[in-house]
Amino acid sequence: MSLTTLILSLALAQSDADPRAALPLAMALDEPRAQEGQDRKPEPFPPTQTAAPKSPPLVDLEWLELTGGVGVAVFSHDYLAGPSASFLVSAHAPLPWLSPGSDPKGEYFGLFLEAAFATIDRDLSPTIQHRRGVAAFTTLGMDYSVIRDSSWILMARAGALYAYYGDIAQLNSGVGGTAGAVAGIQISGKMSLTYQPEAFFGKGGSLIFLNTVAFGFQF
């Protein structure tokens, strides 16, 4: 028997005794590592963190609405003045802490700021100067939406008023109150057309009744 035949016989006998001996050395060494990988348990997912609910803002400016309109101002007899032209601009936003301002179609309380202007031509003696002028009325108040959907708008409002008469003869600037309403239609999702009757109450029972047709735009 040759030396080559003897070496092959010994190699075949060893492979029959241990099957791993016939495999390459790298595969035999990697087998325990594969076994370890199979025994390892998957790590659990980290616990999910839920975000804390945000407190609603005092005034929800995401539903800010700006309004501009023209109309007629009617004065009580104290003013000694006839009806005249008027103009107003206003801003309105919901108050979420009183009601859900995130729902524009629902009922909610709101805050409004208004500036109105009207000409006053007083029926006084021709000898008195500054019988005619422009009065300015600034109002800060709250409103309540009785109906506010995709078609109709009905709101009631009230607030505190400051009337500025400038140098109009025998009229003194001062504070007062307002009460009124807003009624109209929703032209689209952001635009509206409304009629706004509003009463300005002053000292001594003086009264100004403002009739305004306004166009509103909601952001």
The CATH number for 179's domain is 2.40.160.20
In a domain, 192, yes or no: yes
The rounded distance, in Å, linking the Cα atoms of 136 and 124 is 21
pTM of the full structure: 0.71
CB atoms within 10 A of CB 13: 9
Angle subtended at Cα 71 by Cα 215 and Cα 183, rounded to the nearest 5 degrees:
50
In a domain, 143, yes or no: yes
Q: What is the tens place of the pLDDT at every residue in 132-175?
A: 999 999 999 999 999 888 899 999 999 999 999 999 999 999 99
Radius of gyration of the chain (CA): 41
Domain span at residue 208 reads: 61-218
In a domain, 30, yes or no: no
- pLDDT, averaged in runs of 10, over the chain (219 residues): 58 54 47 53 58 68 93 95 96 81 65 97 91 96 90 95 94 95 92 96 90 93
What is the residue-wise DSSP string for 70-133? EEEEEE-GGG-B--EEEEEEEEEEE-TTTS-TT-TTS--EEEEEEEEEEEEEB---TTSS--EE
Nearest to 75 by CA among 90, 65, 85: 85
Angle subtended at Cα 141 by Cα 162 and Cα 148, rounded to the nearest 5 degrees:
140
Residue 190 gets which letter from DSSP?
S
Q: Count the domains in the chain.
A: 1
Distances (CA, A) of 132 to 48, 55, 120, 162, 202: 70, 51, 6, 20, 19
